[in-house]
Structure 1
Amino acid sequence: MSQIHPTALVAPGAELGADVEIGPFCTVGPKVRLGDGVRLISHVVIDGATSIGSECTVYPFAVLGAPPQHLAHKGEDTRLEIGDRNLIREHVTMQTGTVGGGGVTRVGSDSLYMVGAHVAHDCIVGDRVTFANSATLGGHVTVDDYVFMGGLCAVHQFSRIGRYAFVGGGGIVTKDVIPYGSVWGNHAHLEGLNLVGLKRRGFSREAINALRAAYRLLFADEGTFQERLEDVAEIHASNAEVMEIVNFIRSDNNRPLCLPEREV
């Protein structure tokens, strides 16, 4: 049995799973689907064609499924899809996609979105990510699994953030961040690998050492970047983590990368 507070407004057509809790002064639109065990604490707005997976908890004043902040959007029926077991704190905003961007914004599972985090239209966000307070994505951003986004950081539209990467607090990311990388600053630059995150996630010493060796070669001063990339791919062809970085770089030659700062 679902529990709906008498002050909540649930539109006809909304689909509620088992054991859903909708607290005081929440608003749920007619195209919304809430999975089993979803909890809306109070004053939550779920709008648009939005689906939320099971056992998510949403805190007051979050707005999920509002239209995209995009001048080309003319009210088309685009979607927001949110996975399972997410903790979505106060004032978080996630918006539906645009027709030009594929029509859907996708958010994965088992993640924490702290106060004021924002996921814009057409973003693809993976599983087990953490967005600290006011971390913000522009449109069409891809954030892979296990990424940590520091407080007040912002990611430029169309950027990619690879798996296990770390974006430091206040970082302004205008270029792609390699998997396992750690970036800081305005504009953000690579400070090395996300070693703390790798250790916390249980990566072996051998895997971390291979990543460090590959990183040093990839961002050395000798030769061209393309030559160094090919050297890394040849030397570490059997290492899955290193090749994930190589394949990430090769997969989109049109996007610039966050690079280490050079000493002057």
Structure 2
Amino acid sequence: MIDPRAVIDPTAKLAADVQVGPFSVIGPNVEIGAGSIVESHVVIKGPTSIGENNHIFQFSTVGESTPDLKYKGEPTRLVIGNNNVIREGVTIHRGTVQDRSETTIGDDNLLMAYVHVGHDSIVGNNCVLVNNAALAGHVHIGDWAILGGYTLVHQFCKIGAHAFTAMGSAIGKDVPAFVTVSGNPAEAKSINTEGLRRRGYTKDQLAAINKAFKLIYRRGLRLEEALSILSEMAIAEPALITLIDSLRSSERGIVR
């Protein structure tokens, strides 16, 4: 299961069936759960906890310290959940004490080639980050979000659940749940209709979410005014609560 040409620190804890390819380096304070595969030429540094059934492809660097100038070598960590696919050349950095001291990747995510996840970022569950998408530090990505290739996300931005960013989007403000954005700087275009359909949202729910989008982006209302109306709409359609929560949690303002 472990190629003899791999270098594994004696303090690393690997489940019995973990596979490690040649020339990979697994450092101290690394834990890897059952069913996981580490291909050749992967570097994993700790403290890092990796769950079960993850597949990490060649030339990825996982759990490296951040180049953030505030970081002075304090003990921080990376936590990765279960069933993630981390493709070639992905880089994921540990956290900083200025935030949560932890970078977190959830479950069932696909990080395609050369994706970067910066320090203290949080990636939810069932997300897809397409080739060369890059998250600066302190970025939060909600469940089921899809980031198109070469998407750039500024530090402290939040991407809401089920949001979609088109190829080459440059994001400097928060993207609300369900919203599709594109451009540099990114602008809101519509709701992520196709993605929501695939996840089982009904016609009535889609109609309500589309109505909410127009309320936020087409009526010229202040966000506080829109939130007041949305709260009333959510009584009849609870699916809007996800959108409302993403709007209320915004600290940088939302893309327009």
Matched-pair identity in %: 39
The change in CA–CA distance for 1:75 and 1:200 in structure 2 (over 3 A counts) is same
The partner residue of 1:229 within 227, 230, 240 is 227
Partner of 1:255: 252
Moved more, 83-92 or 194-203: 194-203
Partner of 1:99: 97
Partner of 1:140: 138
Moved more, 198-207 or 88-97: 198-207
Aligned-residue offset at 1:147: 0.4
Aligned-residue offset at 1:218: 2.1
- Please list every run of 5 or more consecutive structure 1 residues that lacks an aligned counterpart in the other structure: 260-264
TM-score computed with the length of structure 2 as normaliser: 0.97
Aligned-residue offset at 1:229: 2.5
- Aligned residue identity for 1:206: D
Aligned-residue offset at 1:214: 1.5
| Residues 27-64 of structure 1: per-residue CA shift (max 9 Å, x gap) | 00011001001111100000120111101011100000
- Please list every run of 5 or more consecutive structure 2 residues that lacks an aligned counterpart in the other structure: none
Partner of 2:2: 4
Any conservation in 1 of the 2:20–2:37 contact (CA below 8 Å)? yes
| Residues 223-262 of structure 1: per-residue CA shift (max 9 Å, x gap) | 433223212222333322212212221234x321011xxx
- Aligned residue identity for 1:97: G
The change in CA–CA distance for 1:172 and 1:223 in structure 2 (over 3 A counts) is closer
Aligned-residue offset at 1:222: 4.6
Within 5 Å, give how 1:162-241 maps onto structure 2. 162-241=160-239
The change in CA–CA distance for 1:161 and 1:222 in structure 2 (over 3 A counts) is closer
| Residues 117-168 of structure 1: per-residue CA shift (max 9 Å, x gap) | 0110000110000010001101000001000010000100000011000011
- Partners of 1:105 and 1:97 in 2: CA distance: 5
- Aligned residue identity for 1:256: G
Aligned to 2:173, the other structure's residue is in SS state: coil
Any conservation in 1 of the 2:152–2:171 contact (CA below 8 Å)? yes
Aligned residues: 256
Any conservation in 1 of the 2:6–2:21 contact (CA below 8 Å)? yes
Partner of 1:79: 77
Any conservation in 1 of the 2:42–2:57 contact (CA below 8 Å)? yes
- Partners of 2:159 and 2:190 in 1: CA distance: 15
TM-score computed with the length of structure 1 as normaliser: 0.94
- Partners of 1:127 and 1:154 in 2: CA distance: 20
Superposition RMSD in Å = 1.1
The change in CA–CA distance for 1:223 and 1:90 in structure 2 (over 3 A counts) is closer
4+ residue runs of structure 1 moved beyond 6 angstroms? none
The partner residue of 1:48 within 42, 46, 49 is 46
Any conservation in 1 of the 2:101–2:120 contact (CA below 8 Å)? yes
Partner of 1:128: 126
The partner residue of 2:149 within 148, 151, 161 is 151
- Partners of 1:236 and 1:37 in 2: CA distance: 42
Moved more, 210-219 or 220-229: 220-229
Partner of 2:17: 19
Any conservation in 2 of the 1:162–1:180 contact (CA below 8 Å)? yes
